[in-house]
Amino acid sequence: MEYDGTYFCGWQRQISDESAIFPGSNRIASTQCCNDTTQYSGVPPALNSVSSVPSVQGTIEKALKKITSHRILVEGAGRTDAGVHATNQVAHFDLPSGIKPEKLQLGLNFYLQPFCAAIVKLEEVAPTFHARFSAKARQYEYHIVNRPAPLTIRKNRAWHVSVPLDISIMQKAAGAFVGCHNFNSFRAAECQSANPIKTIDSFEILLLDGEIIGKVQAKSFLHNQVRIMMGTLVLMGKRKISSEIIPELLKAEDRSAAGPTAPAYGLYLTGVLY
């Protein structure tokens, strides 16, 4: 599926989505309007952070509820953050009855269209298929427009870096991320993964149609890993830090060693391999 991350709080279902899908749930009182942030007693504060921006997962689950009248849980291949786009997200769900895929796709797209999300392809898979656990690799692209003038058509679609970047420096540096490393320096403080060791299959920096594009593939990534790697490469492209120090930054195993987290709106989930 494809979505414009601008209009979502991210992939993951929020408590507000859940209350709408499971109105009988006693985990949170039902809120008809997302903007209704009235505090209900008995609800733990963490569960009561009602967001006015929908999640992708919750939006599909709501659409499935409308179509099938069933509570159907959707599993995605990867959780994208607020603002992050997807051109090829993959998700699966189990249907209780035999709705034809073509009919279901039309129905889902009818409900998803106002949210700027669409099911591009829908097909029946083996019961053993799992969007997340069957995935062999995830592919991401990070887009940068490097020029003094502000963005117009590419606003919310690419990171605007106004200071000139040396792409050849970034291209050489990116190679140091490839392979198996401890990426503790390159993950968000709130990252919940127990294991910071990840293997980057490939990481290329390209210049395409006037944009600098980082293309990266791995079996899986840590939270914000691609954005922190890109933020670090941009510091190198600006010649603010040496392009030789990626092995040192990895060795530090400390978030403060690496560069800033690049903005979410430049990132695209472009493929999931099975």
**Catalytic residue positions, numbered:** 81
Q: Is residue 118 within the footprint of a copy of itself (CB under 8 A)?
A: yes
Q: Is residue 100 within the footprint of a copy of itself (CB under 8 A)?
A: no
Q: Is residue 148 within the footprint of a copy of itself (CB under 8 A)?
A: yes
Beta-carbon neighbour count of residue 70 at 10 Å? Answer: 11
Question: CB under 8 A: which stretch of 23-31, 146-154, 221-229, 230-238 binds a copy of itself?
Answer: 146-154
Q: Is residue 103 within the footprint of a copy of itself (CB under 8 A)?
A: no
Question: CB under 8 A: which stretch of 10-18, 136-144, 152-160, 214-222 binds a copy of itself?
Answer: 152-160
φ/ψ of 43, rounded to 5, equals -100, 125
β-strands 267-273, 85-86: how paired?
parallel
Q: Is residue 3 within the footprint of a copy of itself (CB under 8 A)?
A: yes
Q: Is residue 25 within the footprint of a copy of itself (CB under 8 A)?
A: no
CB of 90 to a copy of itself, least distance (A): 14
β-strands 211-218, 137-146: how paired?
antiparallel
Question: CB under 8 A: which stretch of 125-133, 153-161, 179-187, 219-227 binds a copy of itself?
Answer: 153-161
* CA proximity to 4, closest of 135, 186, 154, 105: 154
* CA proximity to 216, closest of 139, 273, 150: 139
* CA proximity to 180, closest of 141, 219, 142: 219
CB of 227 to a copy of itself, least distance (A): 18
